[in-house]
Amino acid sequence: MEQQVEGGIRVEALDAGYQAQAEQWAARLGLPLDDAEAAFAVQVGADGLQIQQLGPQAPGPVRVDFLEGGAAHRRLYGGGAGQMIAKAVGIAQGVRPHVLDATAGLGKDAFVLATLGCRMQLIERQPLVAALLEDGLARAAGDAEVGPIVARMELLHGNSIERMRNWQGEPPQVIYLDPMFPHRDKSALVKKEMRVFRPLVGDDLDAPALLEAALALATHRVVVKRPRKAPIIEGTKPSHSLEGKSSRYDIYPKKALKP
């Protein structure tokens, strides 16, 4: 799928041993292997797949890693079922809902919910981000501790709205949405992932349609993560919200989740 990004994107192997993999990804993503003018590089190497913004002031590479770093720390010390996201999706004694994360991104929130025992389905419509997620899940699958967690995470490809409108099989009990929103707060640019991703992903200007499709499909509730001071998504109003320091969860209940 062709990526329309200012400056362009190329695929490159970080080592000659990864050239064949780089060629496969280039073919899959519809990207060139040689583009001296590219603003971004999809790089293949010993640490798996990563995206590197090119240029002198560029932040470091972005990859999906469920084994080390932030994901590992949150898995071990994140607060378990007491976390706000767990309460938002309805995790309780004897309740581990089937959740669709329709804006999966790098899979961080989905991984937290899978760690807590939820069966997860993930949709990421931006092909480059989906590729990072696919690579991260594949690398984690062989790990003794993390393998059983990512086994609960199924990655679906395609456009979230279309997938939800034309859903096949058992519908999810809970749908989780964390749309990219037009940023006003300068601190939103601080995170490396956001700096790299905004030019690639853009804003989810179709968030109202995303919410509408989710409300039509979810059997029990829809949860929308928003920056704490951001307005609610246009359309149906949430019944209540859970508020944290920097973000909040707007909750749209349909039916009670029971053990």
Q: State mean pLDDT over 233-242.
A: 97
**191 Cβ partners below 8 Å, 6+ apart?**
none
Q: State mean pLDDT over 150-176.
A: 96
pLDDT recorded at residue 1: 40
Lowest-confidence segment of 26-30, 44-48, 81-85, 139-143 by average pLDDT: 81-85
CATH of the domain at 34: 3.40.1630
pLDDT tens per residue, range 57-75: 888 899 999 998 888 888 8
User: Would you say 178 is a known binding-site residue?
Assistant: yes
| Residue 92 and residue 30 in one domain | no
User: Would you say 15 is a known binding-site residue?
Assistant: no
Residue 178 phi, psi (nearest 5):
-135, 70
Does residue 190 carry a pLDDT above 70?
Answer: no
pLDDT recorded at residue 26: 97
Q: State mean pLDDT over 217-229.
A: 96
| Residue 140 and residue 191 in one domain | yes
pLDDT tens per residue, range 85-102: 999 999 999 999 999 999
Does residue 120 carry a pLDDT above 90?
Answer: yes
| Residue 39 and residue 91 in one domain | no
Does residue 3 carry a pLDDT above 50?
Answer: no
Alpha carbon of 246 to those of 70, 185, 232, 253: distances in Å? 18, 11, 15, 23
What does pLDDT average to over the chain?
Answer: 90
Q: Is 176 inside any structural domain?
A: yes
Alpha carbon of 96 to those of 44, 87, 116, 218: distances in Å? 36, 11, 8, 15
Count other Cβ atoms within 10 Å, centred on residue 24.
12
Tally the C-alpha atoms within 13 A of residue 159's C-alpha that lie toward its C-beta: 11
Contact 33, 1 (CB under 8 A): no
Token pair, residue 13, equals 């192997």
| Residue 220 and residue 99 in one domain | yes
> Confidence band (pLDDT; 50, 70, 90) for 28?
very high
Express the helix, strand and coil content of the chain in percent, nearest 5 each. Answer: 35, 20, 45
Q: Is 32 inside any structural domain?
A: yes
Q: Is 258 inside any structural domain?
A: no
List the beta bridge partners of residue 247. Answer: 227
Q: State mean pLDDT over 110-125.
A: 96
Per the structure, the complete domain to which residue 39 belongs is given by 9-53
